[in-house]
Amino acid sequence: MSSPEQSPHRSGFVALVGRPNAGKTTLTNAMVGEKVGIVSNRPQTTRHAIRGVVHRPGGQIVLVDTPGLHKPKSLLGRRLNDVVRDTLSDVDVVVFCIPADQPVGNGDRFIARQLREVKAPVVVVVTKTDAAGKKQVAEQLVAASELVEAAELVPVSAVKGDQVELLEDLLVGLLPEGPPLYPEEQTTDEDTERQLAELVREAALEKVFQEVPHSLAVTIEEVNRRPDPKQQGRELVEVHALLHCERASQKPMLLGKGGSIIKAIGSEARAGMEELLGARVHLDLHVTVLGEWQDDPKKLNRLGY
């Protein structure tokens, strides 16, 4: 029999919102304790609502990391905003991330206006406090508190782990009573193929600059598992992936001179895949041109958006 002072278990869904590059994915990864989303300093890095599961003694937080809300310039942009709005109508708590190292801007005000229609309590988190001075953080907390009516206001550095546990405790306190929604060992419900595709896209975002990032999508065409000829009793996983860009001029940027860029993308992505799958990986990458896919409904559907 449980003692009378033992508080009930709480569980629920928490959406992280913020303009692109506000530190949402880094915070998700820090709270979950492992990498469940890709991190890049390019805007629009997250294109799907990724769920990370945080297990605490008194509760379970299911984090939904949404694409950055922004004024859309393409059909892809509008669909990404729809993902965020659908997510917000269906969660228990919203975490609004505002970076400490950049002034509050129109993007933040745009999100604050969207949040006025949300019924769930809003926790404002000032992120990246390691990248700003104490005075700047204090000013940002004041500016953030004026944007929305917040249930809590917390400054956090996900990179250093400052106040991350405190934030988790506050979030658990705001969740409804209920049993765990996921088993103890599970940290994400992302399917493996999507995670593999995201690892390739992350590596590509690190290696190519200029106009390619927005126009880049990755699909996994085939995953084959067979006994590893080099390690007895182990598995070798063959992954065939396609990098889709929008214009023929972008293809050489992804390939690099003598294939140097695509090789570098491959070795970085493969290392992440081997860690994820716990097996040796043979990765086969090809670049294709899928003209103007960001505004073509059929092509967006094919790419999974």
Q: Give, for all 305 residues of the chain, the pLDDT tens digit.
A: 444 456 889 988 898 888 777 888 788 888 887 665 544 444 444 444 556 788 888 898 888 866 555 566 666 666 666 766 676 777 899 999 999 998 888 888 988 988 888 889 999 999 888 988 889 988 898 898 899 888 889 988 888 888 889 999 999 999 999 888 877 776 665 567 777 888 888 788 777 755 454 667 888 888 888 888 888 888 888 888 888 887 888 888 888 888 888 899 898 888 888 877 778 889 988 888 876 666 667 766 666 66
d(CA 10, CA 189): 19
Output the pLDDT for position 211: 45
Q: Which tokens hold the place of 219?
A: 């699909």
Owning domain of residue 43: 10-174
CB atoms within 10 A of CB 142: 10
- Are both 23 and 50 inside the same structural domain? yes
Residue 278: is it exposed, middle or buried by C-beta count within 10 angstroms (0-12/13-18/19+)?
Answer: exposed
- For residue 245, being part of any structural domain is answered with yes
d(CA 124, CA 11): 20
Whether the predicted model's global pTM rises above the 0.75 cut: no
- Are both 38 and 100 inside the same structural domain? yes
- Are both 148 and 200 inside the same structural domain? no
- For residue 131, being part of any structural domain is answered with yes
- For residue 64, being part of any structural domain is answered with yes
Q: Which tokens hold the place of 149?
A: 């009516």
Residue 19: which residues within 8 A CB-CB, separation 6 or more?
Answer: 68, 69, 70, 105, 107, 108, 110, 111
Domain count, the chain: 2
- Are both 130 and 247 inside the same structural domain? no
Which of the listed residues 174, 204, 226 is the one where a domain comes to its end? 174
- For residue 109, being part of any structural domain is answered with yes
Which of the listed residues 108, 141, 174 is the one where a domain comes to its end? 174
Output the pLDDT for position 1: 47
Q: What is the CATH number of the domain that holds 53?
A: 3.40.50.300
CB atoms within 10 A of CB 124: 25
- Are both 138 and 229 inside the same structural domain? no
- Are both 57 and 97 inside the same structural domain? yes
Output the pLDDT for position 287: 86
- For residue 180, being part of any structural domain is answered with no
Output the pLDDT for position 72: 61
**For the chain, what is the largest distance between any 2 Cα atoms, rounded to a whole number of angstroms?**
69
Output the pLDDT for position 42: 42
- Are both 136 and 256 inside the same structural domain? no
- For residue 274, being part of any structural domain is answered with yes
